[in-house]
Amino acid sequence: EAFKAAHEADPDAKLFYNDFYNYIPAKHQGIYEMLKGLLEQGVPVHGVGLQCHINVEPSKDPNNQAYYQSVENLEKAIELYASLGLEVHVTELDVSLYIPGITYTPDQFYTAATFTEALQEQQAARYREFFELFRKHAGAITSVTFWGIADDNTWLSEFSSGRKDFPLLFDTNHQPKKAFHAVMDF
Average pLDDT estimate for 145-171:
90
Mean pLDDT of 97-125: 86
Higher pLDDT, 120 or 162: 120
* Distance, CA of 100 to CA of 55 (rounded, Å): 8
Question: What is the structure's pLDDT at 55?
Answer: 93
| Single pTM value for the model | 0.90
Domains and CATH numbers, the chain: 2-184 (3.20.20.80)
Q: For residue 33, is pLDDT > 90?
A: yes
pLDDT digits (tens, 9 = 90+) for 71-94: 999 999 999 999 999 999 999 999
**Does 186 have pLDDT greater than 80?**
no
Report the percentage of the chain scoring pLDDT > 70.
Answer: 99
Query: Please, what is the angle between helix 25-40 and helix 71-83, to 10°?
Result: 10
pLDDT, position 160? 64
Mean pLDDT of 18-45: 96
Q: Mean pLDDT score of the chain, rounded to an integer?
A: 93
- Quote the CA–CA distance of 42 and 37 in Å, as a whole number: 9
Per residue in 56-72, pLDDT (tens digit) is 998 888 888 888 999 99
CB 89 within 8 A of CB 49: yes
Give me the sheet containing 16-19, strands edge to edge.
16-19, 47-55, 87-96, 141-146
